[in-house]
Chains A and B, each alone.
Chain A
Amino acid sequence: MSYENKILQMKKLLKKNNTQHVIEKEPILKPDVPNYAGIWQDAGLKMIENDFGVVFLLEKHYPLDYKHGAIYLRELYDAFEKWQHTQNSHPISLTDANNLIFYDTETTGLKGVGTHIFLNGLLEESEDGFTLKQYVLADPSNEVAFLFESKFWQGRKTIITYNGKSFDWPQLQTRWTLNKKDLPPLKEHDHLDLFHGSKRIWKNDIARMKLTQVEEEKLGFTRLDDVPGYLAPIIYLDAVKSGQPDALLKVLKHNEWDLLSLLTLYVQATNLLCEDIAEESATTYTNIGKWYADLREIDRSEELLQQVTNQYTSEEAANAYFHLGFQQKKQQNYIEARKSFQQALPYLQGRQQIIALIELAKIFEHRDKNYEFALAMTKQALKLVTESSLWTKDSKSLRLADIQKRKNRLERKK
């Protein structure tokens, strides 16, 4: 029977009642303990009871010399030390593990109020190592108990996530708002999102910035028998409906790997940001140099970019030269700037190539007074823009008009 037919069969079930329902103030009742609590406990989950109901917990301790992929967890402390010793300010800089939480959730959907968080994974410093606490929603009626245990209503923490600024945290806020009449208010916390940082560091180096991809390529960790994240909703629904937690435990494993990788990712990112050039690609170090430039840490930026130009082939370092050129220009070091742009030019493409040509034309015209060279650069830029399909018709004609003006002026001066 089609869906429509089934629904229409149910017409007889529909009753109406026009008297307004009196809303009674209900006493706060503890929800029932789910009937599968025993099975879940047998599977290794611990049941915790608080004032609002029950929540399941899987807790695990890691010693300091636990190695995840290529990195030891203790290296986190080395990372703090590196930040302590650097002169540069940086948004992911941290100097100790106090109140630090690596946080990752699993949810029953992607958006909206009907999406539940069913797993709060928290990785924190503990005695002689780190402790992972994975709180599992017992069932939706025990949500308050589940949220309460996350302790996000207590003192200010620093939360490290992967894409948590746009996903995990807003989801938590939604759940909190829905239950706000029973819960203490959600505190404000400091928030470091390593998704953004990874994009800054590995742009054009890693094709997709998925955490599993970053793990494999940069953290030396490969997952075996991992449940893909998109299956998590179905698995949780099944666990609650059938009471069987086997597949759910695999989702917990997935979440555990996410959190361990989050920690080692922090270590790896710190190493790249604080140390001199080592094994990574020129693209990565150029990205970092550019990031420091945007943070107005010009010295650090120049240092890195210079290193790239020294240690890689001109082709690999073209981008570094390009960015270096702008910094040198800003410092009115025009000769160096011109050299940098000239170094970069043969290997640049598209937009960057055109920008570099225009920059060179400016320096030749205004500093070197070499109108002939300036004109040559301008003509080349004009040709590239004319042939390019980078811009819409309107913005293309604006650009062309600009370049044409420069060309006319240079022809006069010549």
Chain B
Amino acid sequence: MLQKKTIDELLAEWQQYPEMMERIEHQHTIDAMPAKLVPFPDKLHPSLVKALQKRGISQLYSHQRQAFDYATTGQSFTAVTPTASGKSLCYHLPVLQAVLENKTSRALYLFPTKALAQDQKSDLNELIEQSGEEVLSYTYDGDTSPGIRQKVRKAGHIVMTNPDMLHSGILPHHTKWVSLFENLQYIVLDELHTYKGVFGSHVAHVIRRLQRICRFYGSNPIFICTSATIKNPKELAETLTNTTHQLISDNGAPVGKKTFLFYNPPIIHPTFGVRRSAILEVRDLARKLYEAQIQTIIFAKSRVRVEMLVTYMKELTKKKIQDESIRGYRGGYLPSERRLIEKGLRDGTIQTVVSTNALELGVDIGQLQACIMTGYPGNIASAWQQAGRAGRRQDAALIIYVAQSTALDQYIINHPNYLLGSSPEEARIYPDNMLILMDHLKCASFELPFKTTDMYGEFEIQELLEYLQQEGVLIKTSEQWHWMSDSFPAHEISLRSASQENVVIIDQSIPANTRVIGEMDRYSALTLLHEEAIYLHQGVQFQVEKLDWEEKKAYVREVDVDYFTDANLAVELKVMSEDKQKHLGQAEAAFGDVMILATATIFKKIRFDSHDNIGSGPIHLPPEELHTSSTWLSFEQPVNWTEDDLTSAMTGVAFAMNSFIPLFIQSDRSDVHVIPQVKAVHSEKPTFFVYDRYPGGIGLSERVYDIWEPLIQHVFEHVDACPCQNGCPSCIGAQDISDKGKKQVLNFLKSFLLEELDD
């Protein structure tokens, strides 16, 4: 049964199956591209020339040369580089050149995670060794032993760390890093595209703090950023670093042939437009690839789905003892476990890996041949990142996109050019978020006193400092604001999430040997770690026996059941303030602050395979509060509509809207949320709310405020064009067996809402 095949052989074989060809709605091939090579720069240090030659490199890719030229003329720049295009030379070469020319010169490398820094360190050290020069490079993170910290601080030419460590371990102690900050010539930001949303907004502030400290010590470092393909790399880099950048976007590295398949699961219930579960389709496709011995990565959107797929796939190997050729990979695994999986992928002992977007990043897992996306990852940039995992360098690669039943997924399968042809999303950050800004203003005040004439980055902050004085953490003297508190602000601020504390997951299957098997953020824990929830870890099922919400601990025990659990979240919403409003015909749109209370209510037990609901139970957890920005659209109660009818129509519209907002504002679909209310508390009118799912907002709903009309228009066109009869997951969500749902929605939109907006 196991027979090794090439990708082309496999594709030819699939051509023979009409069933297969029916489901592949679209096929697209991107041809291979040769490399663009240019000679070494004349001034490249002879030791670096030697090092490159030892690696068999006698010329540079055009983008590497361009990078060198910008850096050495003192120009900050951002290089957009696909996976495996030799991006690290874009920064290693100028940095090493600077150190070799002047031994006091220093560079700081920032990677989004500790793991990436450690990865890059071995690569850099190899290059240094090949050059035969003595350049000291160190990682500095939580794992750095106290014994060598002193040495890193005083003598490290290149310090590799992550934003979190910079934030809480370096900047608040900058007097111990004088030789770094006085001589800092380059700051390297790798994987720039990951610095978006809330995390990116935090990092933008960490960098402003870093720049303040550099200025204090008299250095003015150049920024070198590398990014995966996004729409606005230059803008992102400039917002993040508050510095003007040049853009390098012309990739000189060779690219292998890539074949894209757009695969739509068959319709199994034509009336309701229900298609076969994408997960089951992915399982079957992955099995074919596994049998052809094609090394494959499968992306799934949630942790639960990863675990379900691992469970399904392990059926293939269950007769073999200790077979590790199929593995899961996601956040929540312990670092040591992740390192093992990465190694297994590189050396080929792991043949299939199922991952969340954790592996989109530049974690070094070597070359895989095929990639399966379970559903649209939510944005184009992520889709390309995932696709880039297959076929590094010149090899042929296969990318299979398997659509789910959701509106967005079906839209993509019907409009493949949206994915293949349009430019990827913008990565947005919003350093203006007041909560984030205030957090870092405290840290910055702790690090260096502000003068009464100072700005902080691009912000005028004197009035905010006044507030901090009232709060008792600053005192003002004639010219300066001084930190005067015994607290250490950086420790109270996490860059990664709104909720500070994670819930720790403790396995107590063996009472004498309880162990921590993972952790989860508070918001997710509401619906995934409530008592009686089935938590999946590496395909093993655990039941949550006790959730200690006070202590943030979930106690689990291994079980073997044929179902998983799915929880409902009830959401309450209050308008706090209205900052902007406008009339749209008869309707009214507004933007402002809202308060949201999320409460986990009940959970359902759902059987594997059939996905039947086989039971449910209540969840008793305190609500989570969220104060954020929101835009809302209110209109008069339509005449002759009962409240029930209006509720179901608005729920359908909200469902479709939620799917389409990411298309319009190019965000991740989980970043915004839509809530319909037939009678909003503040106005007593029917209202749609769109809010940012982060405290204080990250500028997303503000953009929706400007596009209400085209958004509603688009929703109407999509629902109208959907081939289902009564509404389906692709348009307004699965409906009960009533024939009214879809008609109601269309009726509501066409003869009421669009008219209202039009007047």
Contact = CB atoms under 8 A, between A and B. Distances in A.
Nearest to B480: A141
Interface string A104-124: 000011111111100000000
Contacts of A113: 172-175, 446-448
Contact of B475 (A17, A174, A177, A240): A240
Interface string A165-178: 00000000110011
Interface stretch (B40-48, B88-96, B453-461): B453-461
A234 to B, nearest CB: 7
Contact of A110 (B176, B448, B486, B593): B486
Given A16-B458, A111-B488, A29 B593 contact: no
A69 interface: no
Interface of A: 2, 4-5, 7-8, 10-11, 13-18, 21, 23, 29, 31-32, 34, 108-116, 139-141, 173-174, 177-178, 233-234, 237, 240-241
Nearest to A240: B475
Q: What 4 pairs across the A-B complex have the smallest Cβ distances? A: A114-B446, A140-B482, A141-B477, A233-B486
Nearest to A34: B477
Given A5-B627, A112-B488, A177 B175 contact: yes
Interface string B442-471: 000111110000110011110110010000
Contacts of A141: 477-480, 482
B460 A18 contact: no
A100 B374 CA distance: 74
7 contacts: A14-B434, A114-B446, A114-B483, A114-B489, A141-B477, A174-B176, A178-B175
Given A10-B467, A114-B445, A141-B478, A174 B483 contact: no
Contacts of A29: 479
B484 A140 contact: yes
Contacts of B576: 5, 8
Given A7-B438, A29-B479, A177-B178, A108 B485 contact: yes
B478 A31 contact: yes
A8 B447 CA distance: 24
Given A7-B438, A140-B482, A109 B448 contact: no
Contacts of A139: 475, 477, 482
B282 to A, nearest CB: 41
A236 to B, nearest CB: 8
A109 B485 contact: yes
Contacts of A237: 472, 475, 484-486
Interface in B364-394: none
A131 to B, nearest CB: 30
B695 interface: yes
Contact of B695 (A4, A13, A112): A4
A173 B455 CA distance: 28
Nearest to B176: A174
Contacts of A5: 576, 627
Contacts of A17: 455, 458-460
Contacts of B696: 4, 7-8
B516 to A, nearest CB: 18
B380 to A, nearest CB: 29
Interface string B615-645: 0000000000001000000000000000000
Given A14-B464, A31-B478, A109-B485, A4 B458 contact: no
A15 B482 contact: no
Contacts of B475: 139-140, 237, 240-241
Interface in B479-497: 479-480, 482-490
B484 A108 contact: yes
B545 interface: no
Given A5-B576, A8-B593, A15 B459 contact: yes
B487 A16 contact: no
B173 A8 contact: no
A240 B485 CA distance: 12
B720 interface: no
Given A31-B477, A141-B479, A7 B484 contact: no
Contacts of B477: 31-32, 34, 139-141
Contacts of B172: 111-114
Contacts of B627: 2, 4-5, 8
Interface residues of B, number: 47
Nearest to A18: B458
A7 B463 CA distance: 12
B479 A112 contact: no
Contact of A8 (B435, B455, B458): B435
B143 to A, nearest CB: 20
Nearest to A174: B175
Given A17-B455, A112-B446, A7 B435 contact: yes
B54 interface: no
A23 B212 CA distance: 12
Contact of B486 (A11, A16, A234): A234
A109 B489 CA distance: 12
Nearest to A232: B486
Among B173, B480, B482, B490, which residue has the most Cβ atoms of chain A within 10 A?
Answer: B482
A31 B479 CA distance: 8
Contacts of A11: 434, 579
Contacts of B449: 140
Nearest to A19: B458
B437 interface: yes
A113 B455 CA distance: 20
B432 interface: yes
A352 to B, nearest CB: 28
B68 to A, nearest CB: 27
A16 to B, nearest CB: 5
A174 B177 CA distance: 10
A319 B172 CA distance: 45
Contacts of B151: none
Contact of B459 (A16, A31, A109): A16
Given A7-B434, A21-B455, 6 more contacts: A7-B438, A15-B459, A108-B486, A114-B172, A178-B175, A241-B472
Interface in B423-448: 432, 434-435, 437-438, 445-448
B146 to A, nearest CB: 11
B205 to A, nearest CB: 13
A32 B488 CA distance: 28
B215 interface: yes
A227 to B, nearest CB: 15
Nearest to A12: B579
Interface string B571-588: 000001001000000000
B458 A10 contact: no
A7 B460 CA distance: 16
Contacts of B484: 108, 116, 140, 237, 240-241
A277 to B, nearest CB: 38
A173 B483 CA distance: 18
A241 B476 CA distance: 10
Nearest to A2: B627
A304 B646 CA distance: 94
B156 to A, nearest CB: 18
Contact of B434 (A8, A16, A177): A8
Nearest to B469: A241
A2 B696 CA distance: 13
B45 to A, nearest CB: 33
A8 B592 CA distance: 11
Nearest to B491: A112
A233 B472 CA distance: 13
A2 B435 CA distance: 12
Contacts of B579: 11
A139 B481 CA distance: 11
